[in-house]
Structure 1
Amino acid sequence: MKVIRWLILLLVVLIIAGVVTALIWLFTNEREQHIYEFSKDFKFGAASASYQIEGGWNADGKTPNIWDTLVHTRPELIKDQSNADVGADSYHFYKEDVKALKNAGLEVYRFSISWARIVNETNVINQAGIDYYNNLIDELIKEDIEPLVTMYHWDLPQYIEDLGGFQDPILVEHFKFYANVLFKSFGDRVKRWITFNEPWIFCIDGYSSATKPPLIESPGFGEYLCGHHMLQAHAAAYKLYNDDYREQQTGEIGICLFSNFFYPDSGVSPEVAEKTQQFQLGWFTHPIFSSEGNYPKIMIDEIKDKTVDQPLSRLPIMDDEMKNSLIGAADFLALNYYTSRLVAPMTEVHGERSWQSDVGVDFIIDEKWEKAKSWWLYNVPQGLHDLLKWIKAEYNNPTVLITENGYSDDGQLDDDDRINYIKAHLAAIHRAIHQDRCKVVAYTVWSIIDNFEWMEGFTEKFGIHAVNLTSPNKERIAKKSVSFFKDLTDQRQMIF
């Protein structure tokens, strides 16, 4: 009997210990969660890009762009050999996209306009293209959704590329003409414009490494010419708006830039990470958002030092007129952030000349970072917080809109990993706003629907809605993340 009593006593002790442990675990984990509140002035939305969702590649007067040319002439370069000739077909189903935005409770739609749908090779305006975007903008406004419009999201008209594209200064006048058509046609309703999306990517991949169209391989030269002419075109569009439209239309213009945040690898000097930040984001922010203008000094010096066998630096020189035209030539910074990298001094030469060899670093992944479906995408929310602090300190706290941030997977409707990624990055934004007083005013998730992901085709999914690509009606199917956004926008808070 004594043994039995001892066994019963031991069992009771174990049960009590288990209950106490469970209560401690629950209490501890509850204490680790926080409520993040967002004011009604902070806007939530979703983003897309014309080539990735519209389809209608040759419909109603649209001419080919460089992506049309790539997928039709070199389909083997696309991972699944797909194309976006039809895809989600937003050219015919744009109202379904607006419904998807509304169902998620979103307040802003960042979309891009297809240049090749608006203007042809003889600079004749395509009225069918104007009508399409008028209908989309009007549908958004009817549903109280703000249109945030990108003028250029990687789909250069092929006829302009044939003239030299971003490597030729002729681009500037063509873009100014196109921008004028957009301001005149849509500026009465569009109050936020973005000139260019992610020049760091389209200049390096398109005109240096030849890994995206127009497949120009000119490392160490092409990317810098592309960036230089892009900046001139941006300044021309900004001046045009100031001179002819701002007073009447009362809108704003910014530029959309991609950036990682860079941390020094173990034992590496912080100066190496800072140099990399200047070469990536500073390449385009310093001419516009700094008080002195021009390219970052470290970028000018490093490239000049590595061009000793040439009479001129491979980085084009800004004259005073160009510098002055760019200083202050943005009302906000549209920032695309997905992930971060560790950096260390380069251990081997990556080609004789290139952007990366000019920076002189290798990029390293921290093994603790969670990986998404995309080979390049790791979940590093602290990087967004640190990047926002860097921008504030470097450029006197400009207004920032987070215009892309998202998570790729295989397309599952129960997309909990995506929700956790978004929550972590929204928490980072919240800390940047409330702890560091960074002026971040909006967040548009990438993307409103699953779409053609460039060289990856349809093999990875970023949307908060799936699309039934095999159906003639291309139904938009809500994922679990839609409910997350609906609750967030209804309650203006989240728990994470």
Structure 2
Amino acid sequence: MKQFPTNFLWGAATSAPQSEGHSTQNGKSPSTWDKWFELAPEKFNENQGPENTSNMYEMYREDVQRMKDIGMNSFRTSISWTRLLPDGKTVNEEAVRFYRDYFSELKKQDIQLVANLFHFDMPWWLMEKGGWEVRESVDAFAYYAKTAFELFGDLVPMWTTFNEPMVHIECGYLYGYHYPAIVDFKKAVQVGYHTLMAHTMAVKAFKDGGYPGKMGIILNVSPCYPRSQDSEDVKAGHLADLLNTRSFLDPAVLGEIPNELIELVKDHHLTPVTEELDQQWIAQNKVDFIGMNYYQPRRVQAPENPQFPASMPSDFYAPYDWPNKKMNIYRGWEIYPEALYDVAMMMKETYHNIPWFVSENGMGVADEERFMDETGMIQDDYRIEFMQDHLLQLHKGIEAGSNCFGYHTWTFIDCWSWLNGYRNRYGFYRLDLANQYERQLKKSGLWFKELALTQQLKEEEF
């Protein structure tokens, strides 16, 4: 048995656009996802768009009870910017009632809420002005954050500004996966900088307002492992960490953008437009805690023919296909639990042992009905094995002194996943796509209940 700390947070994460549904109803204005689905539905898996998702807008009371039923003592979701402030300024009172009822239900069941402000769902009205490319987005986000703090601060003990900011930067401005599907390194850097300043000014609004609770940010940190100890491979790994990890983690925790990163973007003519007091605000508005989403490691090698100045991150580092890898074939992701120990040690040794938690970790699998038994329960031993292997490494890190206070899986109920729709399932509960009011507990939910209630990890054989 592996004993976890007293008051450890056991829970799951989702987001508003992936779970609420009603994305064009109840006073909500469109986000980029609503509009993109309207413009190009063929890009979405089986034409599955954001309108319905898991229907927690109607089912939140029953779903909170389901959380309680499997021992969850914490839960992360996001607030929909376009639901709360459809035009960026005017509060949607129906949204206020919904979120207050939803969050009150969690509080009544002693489930600690982590409320996130942005999960890839840029308002369309702001996207038409340039989205994160324009400085106006920083002020707009800070106003939205302040509004949320005022309306829900009595119900939210833990806030986070962004979920995985690197994703909307990379997917929207480098690799063409998310709207606006631009490939432009300089624009990506500017988008990243405005995102960082939006985070900073939201933290400033929180501190200036004296609101209760704690403030953090959720980052997707994949530890970087170079192909070899050859100097060029090591350099590639260093640059990959600098761009993908330290670009947000250093400002959020240490209060400064790494000088090395500033010089790197300058050398390659990628320097973003800034304002005079930005560095001061970053230094003064550090976070109280960090959420770490971990699914897979980053393996890199030296690029073969890098351009100068760089036109893409691949001019700094190239992916390396490790021949000994274990794979989740459904997502095409490497399974490497040992990296979670490395994350724990990084937080202890490099980031002042700031409080942190695993804010996402999970395994997406397609066609799970193959594993359904005669009672209708999915026997997802593969998911249990995945969680167990990662928790063993996390426990090792905690025993070594890393200040980790919780573990959240992705996700509670099978949820809609952007362009992938419902191709892969992650939940403790199966969602019936034919009837979005129906949820069916999986075996992993029973396993998680024992883990959460005993706070002990039993090593099982699979």
- Shorter-chain TM-score: what band? over 0.9
Partner of 2:203: 238
Partner of 1:372: 328
Of 443, 446, 449, 1:480 maps to 443
Partner of 1:137: 103
Which amino acid in 2 is paired with 1:166? W
Taking the aligned partners of 1:60 and 1:457, their CA distance within structure 2 comes to 23
Taking the aligned partners of 2:156 and 2:43, their CA distance within structure 1 comes to 36
Taking the aligned partners of 2:383 and 2:265, their CA distance within structure 1 comes to 39
Moved more, 95-104 or 320-329: 320-329
Partner of 1:31: none
CA contact (8 A) 1:207 1:218 kept: yes
Partner of 1:301: 263
Taking the aligned partners of 2:165 and 2:208, their CA distance within structure 1 comes to 25
Partner of 1:449: 413
Task: Tell me whether 1:258 sits opposite 2:220 in the alignment.
Answer: yes
Taking the aligned partners of 1:108 and 1:256, their CA distance within structure 2 comes to 16
CA contact (8 A) 2:173 2:185 kept: no
Taking the aligned partners of 1:236 and 1:441, their CA distance within structure 2 comes to 26
Q: 1:73 to 1:351 in 2, by over 3 A?
A: farther
What whole-Å deviation, never above 9, does each CA across 1:307-356 have from its counterpart, x for those lacking one? Answer: 3xxxxxx1326566212211252111111111103210012459984451
CA contact (8 A) 1:103 1:482 kept: no
CA contact (8 A) 1:61 1:126 kept: yes
Q: 1:109 to 1:65 in 2, by over 3 A?
A: same
Task: Tell me whether 1:388 sits opposite 2:344 in the alignment.
Answer: yes
Q: Secondary structure at the match of 1:59?
A: coil
Which amino acid in 2 is paired with 1:487? E
**Following TM superposition, by how much is the alpha carbon of 1:122 offset from its aligned partner in structure 2, in angstroms?**
5.7
Which amino acid in 1 is paired with 2:289? F
Q: Secondary structure at the match of 1:194?
A: strand
Partner of 2:374: none
Taking the aligned partners of 2:311 and 2:417, their CA distance within structure 1 comes to 25
Q: 1:351 to 1:145 in 2, by over 3 A?
A: farther
Of 434, 437, 443, 2:399 maps to 434
Taking the aligned partners of 1:57 and 1:240, their CA distance within structure 2 comes to 28
**Following TM superposition, by how much is the alpha carbon of 1:374 offset from its aligned partner in structure 2, in angstroms?**
4.0
Taking the aligned partners of 1:136 and 1:340, their CA distance within structure 2 comes to 35
Taking the aligned partners of 1:143 and 1:208, their CA distance within structure 2 comes to 42
What whole-Å deviation, never above 9, does each CA across 1:12-39 have from its counterpart, x for those lacking one? Answer: xxxxxxxxxxxxxxxxxxxxxxx21112
Task: Tell me whether 1:492 sits opposite 2:455 in the alignment.
Answer: yes
CA contact (8 A) 2:186 2:272 kept: no
TM, length-normalised to structure 1: 0.86
Task: Tell me whether 1:112 sits opposite 2:78 in the alignment.
Answer: yes
Which amino acid in 2 is paired with 1:334? G
Q: 1:347 to 1:92 in 2, by over 3 A?
A: same
- Over 4 Å off, 4+ runs: 317-320, 348-355
Q: Secondary structure at the match of 1:444?
A: strand
Taking the aligned partners of 2:447 and 2:99, their CA distance within structure 1 comes to 29
**Following TM superposition, by how much is the alpha carbon of 1:366 offset from its aligned partner in structure 2, in angstroms?**
2.3
**Following TM superposition, by how much is the alpha carbon of 1:214 offset from its aligned partner in structure 2, in angstroms?**
2.8
Task: Tell me whether 1:286 sits opposite 2:250 in the alignment.
Answer: yes
Partner of 1:77: 43
Taking the aligned partners of 2:425 and 2:46, their CA distance within structure 1 comes to 13
Q: 1:288 to 1:320 in 2, by over 3 A?
A: farther
Task: Tell me whether 1:340 sits opposite 2:306 in the alignment.
Answer: no
Taking the aligned partners of 1:109 and 1:50, their CA distance within structure 2 comes to 13
Of 466, 473, 495, 2:430 maps to 466
Q: 1:348 to 1:83 in 2, by over 3 A?
A: farther
Q: Secondary structure at the match of 2:185?
A: coil
Partner of 1:156: 122
Taking the aligned partners of 1:438 and 1:355, their CA distance within structure 2 comes to 35
Which amino acid in 1 is paired with 2:386? Y
Q: 1:290 to 1:475 in 2, by over 3 A?
A: same
TM, length-normalised to structure 2: 0.92
Partner of 1:324: 280
Which amino acid in 1 is paired with 2:439? R
Q: Secondary structure at the match of 2:271?
A: coil
1:17-96 matches, cutoff 5 A: 35-96=1-62
Moved more, 374-383 or 154-163: 374-383
Partner of 2:375: none
Partner of 1:9: none
**Following TM superposition, by how much is the alpha carbon of 1:432 offset from its aligned partner in structure 2, in angstroms?**
0.8
What whole-Å deviation, never above 9, does each CA across 1:156-201 have from its counterpart, x for those lacking one? Answer: 1100111111000001111111111111111011010000111111
CA contact (8 A) 1:195 1:234 kept: yes
Taking the aligned partners of 2:412 and 2:67, their CA distance within structure 1 comes to 7
CA contact (8 A) 1:62 1:118 kept: yes
Moved more, 156-165 or 74-83: 74-83
Taking the aligned partners of 1:357 and 1:369, their CA distance within structure 2 comes to 22
Taking the aligned partners of 2:262 and 2:287, their CA distance within structure 1 comes to 23
For the aligned residues, what is the CA RMSD? 1.9
Q: Secondary structure at the match of 1:367?
A: coil
Q: 1:321 to 1:392 in 2, by over 3 A?
A: farther
Note the residue ranges of structure 2 that are not aligned, 5 or more in a row.
Answer: 372-377
Which amino acid in 2 is paired with 1:476? R
Taking the aligned partners of 2:117 and 2:308, their CA distance within structure 1 comes to 33
Partner of 2:160: 194
Larger Rg over CA atoms: 1
Note the residue ranges of structure 1 that are not aligned, 5 or more in a row.
Answer: 1-34, 308-313
